[in-house]
A = this chain, B = another copy of it.
Amino acid sequence: MTLSRPITQAAGALRDKFREVRATSLALAAPLSAEDQCIQSMPDASPTKWHLAHTTWFFETVLLQPHAKGYQPFDPRFHYLFNSYYEALGPRHPRPHRGLLTRPSVDEVHAYRRHVDEAVIGLLEEEGERGEGGLDWAAIEPIVTLGLNHEQQHQELLLTDILHALSCNPLLPAYKPASGPALRLAAVPPAVRWLSRPGGLVEVGHAGADFSFDNETPRHQALVQPYAIADRLVNCGDYAQFIADGGYQRAELWLSDGWAAVQANGWRHPAYWLAPDDPRLGFGLQPQQHHQQQHASPQGAAAGWHVFGLNGVRPMEADAPVAQLSFYEAAAYAEWAGARLPTEFEWEAACDAPGIAQMTGHVWQWTRSSYDPYPGFRPMPGIAAEYNGKFMVGQLVLRGGSVATPAGHTRPSYRNFFPPAARWQFSGLRLAKDL
């Protein structure tokens, strides 16, 4: 019986965490209308409502159905509708058609969430009471934890995806009117400082008993050469100079696929920047989007640009990190700046470098590392085997974490990944150099 208490405490803590994470998802959707939550602006993005339902489906399918005796699914058809990409779990609604699901409604999805939440909390409490007799704790705890980390990933996607959807509306409506300066940074010195880092064997990857994704493991040694890394992110002012210097017109700065993307898509600036002559500047701005600027207006290359973000359209702030960049743009910028992107191991090894700033909480940082498996990598067992490993080709690693990442979700060893042309994420860059 004495053993029952720690388990009960653990169950209680997990239950509280569960409630908190689940509530956060709803809070993120709260500023959005039912219409906002329904649409899908491109096949790579998903509707808000779909995120709310899919994260629920994950708990229902991976936790409740195998582990909660007598659990009754909310609606068996949701198994088909809200599977994302798990081949082992059978056929599913095609990804590009997620925006056509006006039914179930947002209200029904909310009811679905409540149904599943109650069952999960019931399971956790029952398990908690049972104490050491709770034979399933060892199975349940990792699934709930995975489900919560999974939901946090979708919280960020919910924001990036709705921002993309709103960016397709010529009115450029704000996700949430700004109540003050948004995305503002602690003042940083304008000049980059280069931090020298020694070469040698470094330990990378996740170790220890706390949660990580499988792609961060096993922890292992990696060899790096001596290098320097910038103490801060590339900011909008920096990037505006790249544009002003013809960055988008100079083939020699670009990777071949990147230059092809520039030509094919007519890229001239980051995805959500509005050039000074953009017709929507006269057209689409709602009064609440004209936030009182307390910063001096940007000068020179930075003048006249605006940036669309979660708070709507705002004058570009020169010292805000540049975001919504593809890897191709990040790499071209680095080439133009006479530098390069850090590898993911250089980035990880610099995490605790004295003087380094903006390592997380602003933008994900493209690295010069392809998303390959770590030596000895093994996917998670069971259905989660499809979680990370099967995407390990054709993508690049991003490190750090963004303003849209839930607090506490990331780690220095955390590996985010996207294809090189993706530019609707909160993705930017930090420079590095050989020494």
B394 touches A171 (CB 8 A): no
B390 touches A255 (CB 8 A): yes
| Contact among B39, B81, B100, B394 with A420 in the assembled complex (CB-CB below 8 Å) | B394
Q: Given the interface contacts A99-B39, A165-B102, does A393 sit within 8 Å of B376 by beta carbon?
A: no
A105 touches B434 (CB 8 A): no
Q: Is A396 an interface residue (CB 8 A)?
A: yes
- Bound form: Cα–Cα A392–B343 in Å: 14
B100 touches A169 (CB 8 A): yes
B34 touches A169 (CB 8 A): no
| Contact among B37, B101, B251, B255 with A393 in the assembled complex (CB-CB below 8 Å) | B255
The residue in chain B whose Cβ has the minimal distance to the Cβ of A223 is B223
Binds B, one of A21-29, A300-308, A366-374: A366-374
- Bound form: Cα–Cα A168–B169 in Å: 23
Interchain nearest-CB distance for A110 vs B (Å): 13
Q: Is A173 an interface residue (CB 8 A)?
A: yes
Binds B, one of A85-93, A130-138, A181-189: A85-93
| Contact among B34, B100, B393 with A33 in the assembled complex (CB-CB below 8 Å) | B34
Q: What residues on B are CB-neighbors of A392 within 8 Å? A: 255
| Contact among B80, B222, B386, B396 with A223 in the assembled complex (CB-CB below 8 Å) | B222
B35 touches A169 (CB 8 A): no
| Contact among B35, B104, B255, B284 with A105 in the assembled complex (CB-CB below 8 Å) | B35
Q: Is A77 an interface residue (CB 8 A)?
A: yes
- Of the candidates A81, A372, A394, the one having the most CB atoms from chain B within 10 angstroms of its own CB is A394
Q: Is A221 an interface residue (CB 8 A)?
A: yes
Residue interface bits A215-236, CB-to-B below 8 A is 1, else 0: 0000011111100000000000
- Bound form: Cα–Cα A347–B328 in Å: 29
- Bound form: Cα–Cα A277–B106 in Å: 31
- Of the candidates A103, A201, A225, A252, the one having the most CB atoms from chain B within 10 angstroms of its own CB is A103
The residue in chain B whose Cβ has the minimal distance to the Cβ of A86 is B251
A100 touches B39 (CB 8 A): yes
Q: What residues on B are CB-neighbors of A99 within 8 Å? A: 39, 99
Q: Size band of the A side of the interface?
A: 35 or more
A420 touches B393 (CB 8 A): yes
Q: Is A36 an interface residue (CB 8 A)?
A: yes
Q: Is A257 an interface residue (CB 8 A)?
A: yes
Q: Given the interface contacts A41-B100, A170-B93, A376-B434, does A393 sit within 8 Å of B80 by beta carbon?
A: no
The residue in chain B whose Cβ has the minimal distance to the Cβ of A87 is B251
Q: Is A327 an interface residue (CB 8 A)?
A: yes
The residue in chain B whose Cβ has the minimal distance to the Cβ of A37 is B35
Q: What residues on B are CB-neighbors of A251 within 8 Å? A: 87-88
A77 touches B284 (CB 8 A): yes
Q: What residues on B are CB-neighbors of A255 within 8 Å? A: 390-393
4 residue pairs, one from A and one from B, having the closest CB atoms: A370-B370, A87-B251, A35-B102, A35-B38
Starting from the known contacts A81-B170, A201-B223, 20 additional A-B residue pairs (CB-CB under 8 Å) come to A33-B105, A34-B35, A35-B38, A35-B105, A36-B102, A38-B38, A41-B100, A81-B171, A97-B168, A100-B169, A102-B173, A103-B169, A220-B225, A255-B392, A257-B391, A257-B394, A370-B370, A370-B393, A394-B394, A394-B420
- A interface with B by C-beta (< 8 Å): 33-39, 41, 49, 77, 80-81, 85, 87-88, 93, 97, 99-106, 165-166, 168-171, 173, 201, 220-225, 251-252, 254-259, 283-284, 327-328, 331, 368-373, 375-376, 385-386, 390-394, 396, 420, 434
Give me 18 A-to-B residue pairs in the complex whose CB atoms sit less than 8 angstroms apart, sorted by A's number. A33-B34, A34-B34, A35-B49, A38-B102, A39-B39, A87-B251, A87-B252, A99-B99, A103-B169, A201-B223, A221-B223, A225-B376, A256-B390, A256-B391, A257-B391, A328-B393, A375-B434, A393-B396
